[in-house]
Amino acid sequence: MNSPDNRYRVDFEKSIERYSDMIYRIAVTITKNEEDAKDVFQETFLRLVRNHEKIVSEEHLKAWLIRVVSNCAKTTVSSPWNRNTQGFEKERETQESSYEPGENRLLSELKKLPQKYSVVLYLYYYEGYSIKEIGKLLEKNENTIKTLMSRGRELLRDKLEGGEQDE
Amino acid sequence: MSDINQKDFEKAYCNMKAPDELKTDTLKRMWEENEERKTPEKSASRKKAILFRGFALATALCAAAVVMFLIQPKGASYVTPMEEGEYYDKVELKDGTICFVKNRVVISISPNAGTVTIGQEGQDETEHEDEIPEAEEILTKSGGVINYQRINAISLPEIAESNWSYIGDQKIYVTVLNAADIRYQAVFEKNGTAYEMTGTNVTQKEFIDELYRRVKKVRK
Q: Beta strand pairing status for B97-100 and B183-190?
A: unpaired
Pick from B6, B12, B26: CB nearest A107: B12
The closest of B190, B72, B216 to B127, measured between CA atoms, is B190
pLDDT at B76: 41
Confirm whether B52 is domain-assigned: yes
Confirm whether B213 is domain-assigned: yes
* Same-domain status, B20 and B91: no
Q: Which residue has the higher pLDDT, A80 or A16?
A: A16
Where do the domains of chain A lie, and which CATH numbers do they carry?
1-79 (1.10.1740.10), 104-167 (1.10.10.10)
Q: Mutating which of A38, A49, A100, A157 best tests the B interface, going by the most B Cβ atoms within 10 A?
A: A49
* Same-domain status, B64 and B102: no
pLDDT at B72: 45
Instruction: Single out the residue in B56, B71, B86 at which a domain terminates.
Output: B71
Residue B145 sits at φ, ψ, to 5 deg, of -130, 135
| B158-212 pLDDT tens trace | 877 777 888 777 888 888 765 657 678 899 988 778 889 988 888 877 888 888 8
pLDDT at A47: 92
How many Å apart are CA B134 and CA B122, to the nearest integer?
16
* Same-domain status, B118 and B87: yes
pLDDT of A46 higher than 90:
yes
Question: How many CB atoms are closer than 10 A to CB A29?
Answer: 27
Residues 6 or more apart whose Cβ sits within 8 Å of residue A97:
A163, A166
* Same-domain status, B84 and B50: no
pLDDT at A42: 93
Residue A38 sits at φ, ψ, to 5 deg, of -65, -40
Q: Over range B131-137, report the average pLDDT.
A: 72
Terminal CA-CA length for chain A: 51
pLDDT of A40 higher than 90:
yes
Residues 6 or more apart whose Cβ sits within 8 Å of residue B24:
none
Confirm whether B119 is domain-assigned: yes
How many Å apart are CA A18 and CA B169, to the nearest integer?
67
Q: Which helix (H) or strand (E) holds B68?
A: helix B40-71
Confirm whether B5 is domain-assigned: no
Nearest CA in chain A to B27: A13
Nearest CA in chain B to A13: B27
β-bridge mates for residue A167, sequence order: none
Contact call for residues A81 and A109 (beta carbons, < 8 A)? no
Confirm whether B9 is domain-assigned: no
The segment with the largest mean pLDDT, out of A3-12, A81-90, A128-137, is A128-137
Confirm whether B152 is domain-assigned: yes
Number of domains in chain B: 2
DSSP sequence for B24-60 = HHHHHHHHHHHHHHH-HHHHHHHHHHHHHHHHHHHHH
Confirm whether B10 is domain-assigned: no
Is B22–A42 a contact, with Cβ atoms under 8 angstroms apart? yes
pLDDT at A99: 45
Sign of CA dihedral A58, A63, A65, A68: negative
How many Å apart are CA A118 and CA B4, to the nearest integer?
13
Pick from A21, A128, A153: CB nearest B4: A153
* Same-domain status, B42 and B142: no
* Same-domain status, B108 and B176: yes
Instruction: Single out the residue in B27, B47, B71 at which a domain terminates.
Output: B71
pTM: 0.50
Lowest mean pLDDT among A24-28, A102-106, A126-130: A102-106
Q: Give the structural domain span for B44.
A: 16-71
Nearest CA in chain B to A104: B12
Confidence band of A61 (pLDDT split at 50, 70, 90)? very high
Q: Which residue has the higher pLDDT, A79 or B26?
A: B26
* Same-domain status, B199 and B95: yes
Instruction: Single out the residue in B48, B71, B94 at which a domain terminates.
Output: B71
